[in-house]
Amino acid sequence: MARAFVHLAWKQQLLVQEPVSYKGGILIQAFKGRGSPGLCENYRALMVSSILAKATHRRLRSGTMDSFSAYRLPLQIGGLAGRSVAQGAHCLLSYVAMCRRECKSYAVLFVDVKQAFYRLFREHIVSTKLSDTAIQRLFSTFRLPSTAFSEFARELEELSAMEAAGASPFVQAHVREALHGTWFKLMGAERLSQTRRGSRPGDNMADILFAFAFRRILQKVLDQLRDEGCPMQVESLGVAHPYPDQLGVYPLVSFDTLGPIWADDLAVLVAADTAQLLINKLTYVGGVLFDHLERAGMQVNFGAGKTEAVIDIRGPGAVDIRKELYRHNPPMLEFPNRDGPKRFCRLVATDKHLGTVFSHRGRLLPEIRHRLGQARQAFRKHRKMIFSNVNLPIKTRTQLFVTLVLSVLQFNIAIWPALSNNEHQAFTKGVQALYHSLAYAFWAKKKKHLAG
């Protein structure tokens, strides 16, 4: 097979031209597993493309990693080798612990963007020569006032993310070619549809190209906040050490960041010395962020379970502010909008982020209950076929119990801080209940047989 396609590969690399079949595929609708099956928004699109295209783009992706590693934001961990979602969740728990230790009010704004990989402007990734007509056509897809057109056009004319990252002209040319003339076909349809936006979800390069563009957008947010006297600085340990207190004296470093970023999942970390200052800062930072995202073609989803904020306010005036915030049902926080109507974001006590339930005041009881519920569900799923199967040795069933059930319970458990008495008791009882269920699956039928 390599001999058959080596000439095509050389032609593609030297001429910077991809075969048309590499640029598209069949789009399949997959139900997300929640909500009504009759609504399109509860489905995700999966593209089935050529295996040769995937192999070529996998190689091209590796060529972009060096420039992205130096270009990324400090807490932008998605797409990097050796990084996991546990690191993002660990950042949240550590930040909360730091704020509570320093008696600061804090908030975490969880941002959800509708179809982020599909709505992204490719001009943010790599530069393309767009005519005035093409720029106007792109702008017409927004719900923005005409006064915002000049700023929108100016952003497209600035350095692209890959140019700013210092990617080689060769890599940029191939990325530009991969994003040009793309298409898809729906299952069972005859017509082809051409696409001009998005980082081609399903392709090997989709996540890393989105990460380039997302970094460019978020850096503009950080620059504006810093210029307007609201820097988003976070202080961290300057050396990697599991027990920094043992060092006695250790360096601290400060850096600008909005918060941990995994692909299009963003958690904005905001802290202040007083409750009122926190609310003012949170609404201002959120407003600036939402403005930049909308001007970049992304639509923030403010629905239930989507973009939400978890806050913990303390100090003088906290009681009155809490009463004002939670007088609505559901409680909402208003964010300014420079280009349109005001936005309203829900205030919640818990939010599931990167597979972990983040709770108000950093409590782990909701996460423990969630993990135990997931483990019980996994046990019930395999009980009849595996754990109650007398044809399998007990040792084998026990090993499968550890693999299929306890692994679900122990997801991200390494980042948990020391548990309180209530949390420890809930976790212990839950684990014991799982082992009781396993023992019952082993010997319940045997007991009934002996009793009969």
Arithmetic mean of pLDDT over the chain: 88
Tell whether the model's pLDDT for residue 76 goes beyond 60.
Answer: yes
Residue 450 has pLDDT above 50, yes or no: no
Average pLDDT over residues 294-303: 87
388 contacts: CB under 8 Å, gap ≥ 6: 441, 444, 445
Q: Which of 166, 169, 177 is nearest to 57 (CA)?
A: 177
Average pLDDT over residues 101-106: 92
Residue-wise pLDDT for 217-272, tens only, equals 999 999 999 999 999 988 887 777 777 777 777 778 888 999 999 988 999 999 99
Are the C-beta atoms of residues 307 and 297 closer than 8 Å to each other? no
How confident is the model over 371-399, as pLDDT tens digits?
Answer: 999 999 999 999 999 999 989 999 999 99
Q: Is the pLDDT of residue 447 over 70?
A: no
Q: Where are the domains of the chain?
A: 2-237+252-357, 363-451
Per-residue model confidence (pLDDT) at position 398: 94
**Does residue 257 sit in helix, strand or coil?**
coil
- Give 426-441 pLDDT, tens digit per residue: 999 999 999 999 999 9
Assigned token pair, 253: 């470093």
Name the pLDDT band for 288 (thresholds 50, 70, 90).
very high
Question: How many angstroms separate the Cα of 7 from the Cα of each of 13, 62, 118, 124, 174?
Answer: 10, 22, 33, 32, 17
pLDDT digits (tens, 9 = 90+) for 328-373: 888 999 999 887 788 999 999 999 988 899 998 888 999 999 999 9
* Higher pLDDT, residue 342 or 172: 172
